[in-house]
Structure 1
């Protein structure tokens, strides 16, 4: 299976939860040509009506976000965004990694929304659902176009990514940083290259992500590290090492999240565990359920990001002590400046 995977997170295609029926392939003794396991990435284009999404979640440090793409070629097996593909009548499995949607009119929509008379400026997050620097961005450049518009309007933003492609946009990130308009979080999940290749097949390597942190820091772009997800008995033992490596690379802010397994992600992750870590699978799932009230997932605000119980409390204590020892999170994040926002044509405030 591993040899046929062709750098995909999964080859499974579970039916989405909205599908009225599903089908399975059965051997009926008739000859059939073997279906190739490698599937190329397909790109479709959407003309979005709006591109700024809003939320009122107390678990999130932002209320506005933009996701230039639906689906993500990075193929992270644990990705909590996989179930969103069900709304397009596609599978959260292989479809999520190979059938991608690019919002072709993103720039026009964004400018229109920012120019709306009632628009209230607050930081916009890029990467809340799918990675804005996934491989597709290299040719589509929707994230870069978003940065250009936000810089022109002097609008604050935050970015979360696992992609080294972000360094391509240093020419935009530097002036944004100089105006206190941007903060970047690099997601660092493991320092183990083998685990990375299995768990996040098309993401940048751990060494490349640390290089990104060093380059951003050297350029004056404020950057933090997001250790997420922490998976019991699989990568949680790396938490302190991840924070130490990131601190050495230049971060001053850090955060973490416990693994989330909503909807179709749970069976996909369970199958992945059985394939790659069969001797650990039962233990990993047992601890996850201990953190989730006996279930695979708990969607309650306040609990979904951190979990509950002995393991979750110990993980929180380890994170807090490591941050204290390394001098991380000594201040309350980065207060980005919303007062500079001014769409072209809008009259400046004289007071």
Structure 2
């Protein structure tokens, strides 16, 4: 095979699509602002529609809306004509995507939209197209040319549509004052969700897994309890389980340097007084920050000064907070 300039071809695609996006800025205008106001003022959902490549872009657009505070989902126009229109209600708003603006699968649905009084927004590359004329609002996504040298495969046009959708989603996000906490609520399985929603109570050791001894306990026996529970520490409590102190692996190394007899000395004589503590309701991210700032590997959790839980850095790591 003759050699081919793959890098040159790729760079031409990038340059063509960059020009398309630069051109898109001309269409962020009063129409764009009107669409934003309309979406914000609607009580229902945003329904995104598109055929073929426009449909793929529409699915991503609906997903971005949904994760940034705008209730939305994608409906396939072909399926809509065969029953899925039942998912769309009068208070919803439809965003219909078609570069040509002549997608007959979508155009055939407009009489139903009009009859139900549904607000429609079309995103097309042709402001004189049928869809543009039928819609309440029109967002223009015209590109100078496709990156495909044949001018057939949607390339620059689909990129422009995707970016216009992102522009809408982020403008609406900022207008709503959508926060990191709001984002986490719709992404509880993601890293941000874990950091912002997970509490220490969700990962703490409690009940039988909780290491604690009384101050009269010999160091030897306390070490057995520490080994048994596997947290590298034990709380020292009175008979009401109120915290008196803590004993950790680090404390053990220090007393061994002092040649203290672990078989005859009680834990109360060597425990660390006034240890750093937290409450179960503290966010795991805050707990991590507390432990790092105090340079400690374990944390005792209190409610009304009673020991109710404990955890260490390994627990935070396993929970995905670190």
TM-score, length-scaled by structure 2: 0.27
Q: Which has the higher contact order (CA 8 A, sep 6+)?
A: 1
Question: Which one has a larger percent helix, Structure 1 or Structure 2?
Answer: 2
TM-score, length-scaled by structure 1: 0.25
Is the radius of gyration larger for structure 1 or structure 2? 2
